[in-house]
Structure formats: structure tokens, C-alpha cells
Structure 1
């Protein structure tokens, strides 16, 4: 675990220490893998899949939890699988081949690995913060929260994507997911994405049928491949049509290069950036529009901003950002991992798997057949229509 600044951060240190002492949770770094971009796409993820032999068994439950714990009938699963197979056929290279390779290696249906990738694209709850330190270096911290915490802690991995033996970009992802929700391109920019809670999974699934819509996993990898710097990354994330509304959080190399882009499916509707001239030395984003503030039931932003203001720009380090990401509310029972990174110092990236389910055991949340029948009926009917028109 990161060292704690007892002299600088007594209150934050107490929060962090007490959560560990009371629960006995032991944090750890995720295992690291290399995805060799010079290899055939079909083979690139073999080592990740081989290290996670339970993925095929756990994947159906992960998908159900991510999409709301609806107990679907075999008929509905069949329709979903049919849709996913057809969506997979429409994926561009190398993603079509990468997913097929994962599925075959894990002995999973291609439809299931495709559904998992779509669910990861659409359902993340997160906190992201981009800050400048006393020297003008940009630091990017993020908590990734999911309601399948117990499973996803198990499958969290760090991946270095290499070309010609050199790291082209890196990120934190999940075994079986070809995209990344936390990423860094060395000496260029850092990236994280947060779900914008606009539109249901079904509505976003409908949008995926639009051939002009680009899946998030595809867009992220393309931007990491093609964008040479912070400004180019902003441009590419701003212009693409996407199946779901989203917050894109980017950090660069110099003082003012930190931004939150609030997107709908077609374009950016709001930009909130670091502005040193206005003494705004950090930006922090959860899952609610920044101009509206937090709703009463979710005060992660308030907790995070209070911690940032208490820390102060002059004390921003990897460890102090870890402390900010560890305060109650910001870290919660659904926090899978925390990452701190800087494009200026790519070697300094740190990720902690938080064991947050030990912090506050989540209550069972499983919809019964009786209370989802109306929702399920509509869901199945729409899937049937979609499957016939793909």
C-alpha cells in the first residue's frame, strides 16, 4: 500500500488507516501483462486469458450484475447472444479478431465475450481527478466503481501494449475486455472515462445498432494509437459518435492540460478544464454533470473536492492522490481499483486493487421474477425486433 503522509495529511491518513485496520483488507497491485501489437490480433491476449481460467465460468454472472441483475430466461439469453454475434461481425480490425481469440482461448461463446465488452463500455461508475502539482506536472487519479466488485477485483490487470519492443500505451483493464477505461500514452496524455447516467442499457444497446456509432473500446484504442498529444486526444474524443453519453477525462503534460469533456452520443456539450489563471488547479468528475452538482444520495464529488482542497497543490504526489481517492464516499463498497498516473512520468503509474467489498459488505441485489416481469417483457420484445433487423 502507498505510504501515508502522517505529517501533511493527518485526517486523510486516519481515514485510510482505519479502513484497513477495521476490515483487515490487504490491497495489492494487479498482475501485469504485455499485449504485443506485432503479433496476430487473434493471439495477443493469450497470456491474460491463460492466467484467468475461471473467466468463462464467471462471465455470465458478471454480465447480469453489470446490467442490473435481471434474471433472464433462456429465450432472452438466446436473443442477446444472436445480437452479440452479429455485432461482433461488424467490429473493425483488430477488435473482431482479438475478441475471437479471447473467446476461443477461454472456451467461451463469442457472443458472451462480446456482451461483456459492451457492458463494460456502458456501465462504469467512477471518480476521476486531474491536478497540477507545484512544479506544473499533471497527475491523474481515478477510482473505478462497479457493482460487480467481488468478481472484477479478481480480473483486474495492468497491460502494456508494445510495438517493436517499446511501450506504445498502457492501461488498467479486465481480463476479457479489449478496451480500457484507464490508460496512459507515455509523454502524451492520460485518459479515464466515467459513465454519464443518461439512457438505460437497453437504450444504449439500441444505439449500438447504428453503423455510424463507435464503441468506446474501439475509440479508446484508436485514440491511444493515433493521437500524438493532449490536444489531439481532445479532438478525437470530441468528434466520434458513440452509443452512450460519457465523461471523458484527460490529462496532458503542462499546467493547464487537464479537462473533463461531458458528451452526449453525438458531441461534447460541456468542457471543464484546469485554468491556472483562475486558480483552478484541478478538475474532479464523478457521474453527474459538473454544473449541476451531486444529488443528495451521492456526495462523492464533495468528499473528493474537500480532500483535494485540504491537500493543496503544493502537496500533490502519487501518495497524496491515493489518500484523496481513499476518503470515505470517494472510496466506497463498489470501488474495484484506484490508479494514479502522469503522462510526464509514465514509470510512476500505480494501481491498487482496493478489496472494497471487505470495507462494507454489499447487500444482495437481485431482482425477482415478480418485480421485473414488466421490464423483462419489454426488454425481450425489443430484442426480438432488433435481432430480426440486424
Structure 2
């Protein structure tokens, strides 16, 4: 059902783009895009893990409550205009939201309740806010190795595919609302940094992160029928499975090495399928973990199998061709080959991720990480016309 919806929405977007007369463009690999203008760099907050879970998000939630409210309002407006998933989502908000939060493990249950209290937003809506990132994310992630063996991990996070194309402005409704909520987080315990991440304010899971000196991680959505609402119901009825964002959060908090992180991300039943792009701190130490909701069928694709000096993942199994209306993989690989290994670094990867259609109307941010130094920088992304919707 999820795959059918995805294809229907992509076809609908194609019709929208034609109706909006989005001009054609030529695929080129951008040079000189880095560094972006200073105002595009996202703000940074500290999350103190020594505080009680209900208090950890108070400052951030208070500062960004208007942005969170705006995102939720836009989402509900979209639901009212598009009937394709309206009944399912409204049912979830009214009934399943509070039930789901009661079923969550600690500290996530208390963290969500704390955010609800700090923002004044109902707990069912905060729960929804923390779940829909796992269902509607379209991304590009890459790990590349410099000639000296140093690993760099970069990603575009594209969000809003199912959430309304604005024909007049040639933008996605939710994508435009999300950018003001993007923050870098420094997670600390006893005054020391445990890891760093990029988050939408109020989202307590992890989509992009670096454990300094240990490993880097990004998550891309995997379109698969075995997930989504089916996984949610399974969790409520049987207690089996975990939210992807909570699994990655636990991994970032507790794993002490690339191998330990890989084990945690491979052998845990989840709510929905996913791709985990995982990099280590040693030459050649990088892989894409293709996950089913259950452990069976997991595929681990090593960087050595992908060509030796980089590994790249969008939202399709690496052994299959991407959907013909959503091929970001081919131009991204072309730009990587044009860049060559000698160009691997922060600037080179930002340039690649700023090349269309890897950069598109759904792109909210580009994150750039280097594991040895624990470096993380994040930039808001906008795709000026001519630009494709996805």
C-alpha cells in the first residue's frame, strides 16, 4: 500500500510540475557552492542527558514552539485538502497518538511529555510529530574517503513528498515550514560531548549524527510494504519492534565503535524498513545496511563493494534500479566520479549535494561530517528555479 501511494503521489507531482510549467534544467555538477552564505547555517543547542528526561528539551521546545506548531498546523491543513490518507491520519491523531506514547520506552515517553508541556501542544500531536519523519523522508547519503584515508559523511535530507505541492510558488507546503525548525544538537553527559546530531526541533530521534572519533550515521527511508501502520499496530498489540529514530538514538548514546553500532542497527526488529548509512573511523570502514522491518533479509553493502572510495544511497535498494521518476542516484554518482577521490572533503561533498536533482524542492538541509574530528556542520538548502519538485 505504501509503495502504491508513493507512485501515485509521484505521478501526481509530475502533473503538478507540468501544470506549474516548471522549466527544464540540465544536469550539471555544481562547483564553488561551498561555503554557503552565513545566514544559512543552522543554530546549535545543547541537550543535557544528566537532566531528567522531562526537562531535557525545555529550552529548545520553548524557543521553537511556534515553529513546531506551524508545522503541525500545515500538516493538518494538508490532511484536510487531500483525502488519500486523511482518515488514517486523523484516526491516528485522535486515538492512536496517546496510546503510542504510553507504549514507548523510557526516556522517550517522558521526553515527549516534557516537550508537550513546554510547547502547550497536545501529546497526541507531539507523538505524531515524532513519527511522521520515519514515514515521509526522501534522502541522499554518501560516505567518501580522501586520498589520505580520512572518511567524510554527508547527506541531504528531503522531506515533504506526500504533503502538498504549491503550484503557484513551486514549493512543497511542509518543506517550507520545516527549515526554521532545523537545529544542530550537542548531546552531553557530565559536561562531555557524547554525540552531535541534526534535528527538527522537538524530534527526539536521530536521522543524522556523529559520534566523535567513533562513527557517523544517517538514515534514509526505504519504501516497502512491510512497515508503516502495520508496524505501529504490531508494536501496540505485541510490544515487538522499535521506532527507527529511537533505535538510532540508542545507538548514538551507547555504541562505542563502528562494529557495535553496526550490530545494533542490524539485529533489532523495527516499526518500518530503513537504510542505515554507517561510517567508521578507519580507512574503508563504511557500509549501507538495508533493513526490513524484521531482521530477516537484512543486506550489508560495504564500501569496498561499491567501488572502493565512496558509497552512496538514496531511497532504493542498491541492487535495483531506482524508480524512473525519482533517479537521484545516477546524477549523484556522475558528480562523484567527476569530483574524483582527490576532491573528497567538506567542500567537494557539499558541491555534489548542491547539484540538481540531488538538490531539489524537497531538500531542507545538507549536513557534513568528519568522524575523526567530530565535525558537524549543517546548512539550510533552497533550490532556485529551474528546479524539479523531487
Cα pair 1:66 1:146 within 8 Å, conserved: no
Displacement of 1:228: 0.6
Gaps of 5+ in 2: 1-27, 161-173
Say if 1:16 and 1:327, in contact at 8 Å, map to a contact too. no
When structure 1 is superposed on structure 2, of 170-179 and 67-76 the one drifting more is 67-76
Equivalent in the alignment of 2:94: 81
Deviation at 1:256, TM superposition (A): 1.6
Cα contact 2:367–2:378 (8 A) shared by 1: yes
Query: Which one of 165, 177, 193 corresponds to residue 219 of structure 2?
Result: 193
8 A Cα contact 1:66 1:123, kept in partner: no
Aligned with residue 300 of structure 1, among 319, 322, 328 = 328
Would the aligned equivalents of 2:30 and 2:351 in 1 still touch at CA under 8 Å?
yes
Determine if the alignment matches structure 1 residue 288 to structure 2 residue 300.
Answer: no
Q: Secondary structure at the match of 1:323?
A: helix
Matches within 5 A, 1:303-314: 303-314=331-342
Q: Tell me which residue corresponds to 2:291.
A: 263
> What is the rounded CA distance, in whole Å, between the counterparts of 2:55 and 2:65 in structure 1?
16
Residue 242 in structure 1 maps to residue 254 in structure 2: no
In structure 1, C-alpha distance between the alignment counterparts of 2:233 and 2:81, rounded to whole Å = 19
For residues 100-121 of structure 1, give each alpha carbon's deviation from its aligned partner in whole angstroms, at most 9, with x where no partner exists. Answer: 0001110001110001111112
- CA, structure 1 residues 356+206, in 2 after alignment: closer, same or farther (shift >3 Å)? farther
Q: How does 1:20-99 map to 2 (within 5 A)?
A: 28-55=40-67, 57-64=69-76, 70-71=82-83, 77=90, 80-99=93-112
Deviations 1:68-108 (A, max 9, x none): 96457799736533211011011111111110000111000
Pairing 1:274–2:274 present:
no
Give the deviation of 1:131 after TM superposition. Answer: 1.0
- Distance apart, 1:63 and its partner CA: 4.1
Instruction: Tell me, yes or no, if the aligned pair for 2:356 and 2:387 is still in contact at 8 Å.
Output: no
* Cα-to-partner distance string for 1:229-283 (whole Å, 9 max, x where unaligned): 111101000001001111010011111211001110112522111118x852111
Tell me whether 1:211 sits opposite 2:223 in the alignment: no
| Aligned mates of 1:211, 1:167 — CA distance in 2 | 32
Distance 1:184 1:203 in 2: 31
TM superposition score normalised by structure 2? 0.82
- Structure 1 residue 59: deviation in Å? 3.9
* 2:196/2:376 contact within 8 Å kept: no
Q: Kindly state the Cα deviation for residue 352 of structure 1 after the two structures are TM-superposed.
A: 0.7
CA contact (8 A) 1:336 1:356 kept: no
Measure the CA separation in 2 of the matches of 1:149 and 1:301: 21
TM-score after normalising by structure 1: 0.82
For 1:318, the equivalent position in structure 2 comes to 346
1:355 aligned partner: 382
Q: In the alignment, does 2:191 pair up with 1:174? A: no
Tell me the matched-pair count. Answer: 345
Distance apart, 1:153 and its partner CA: 0.6
Whether the aligned pair in 1 keeps the contact of 2:266 and 2:298 (CA below 8 Å) is no
Cα separation, partners in 2 of 1:50 and 1:129, compared to 1, 3 Å: same
Of 278-287 and 316-325, more deviation after overlay is shown by: 278-287
- In the alignment, structure 1 segments of 5+ residues that lack a partner are 1-10, 364-390
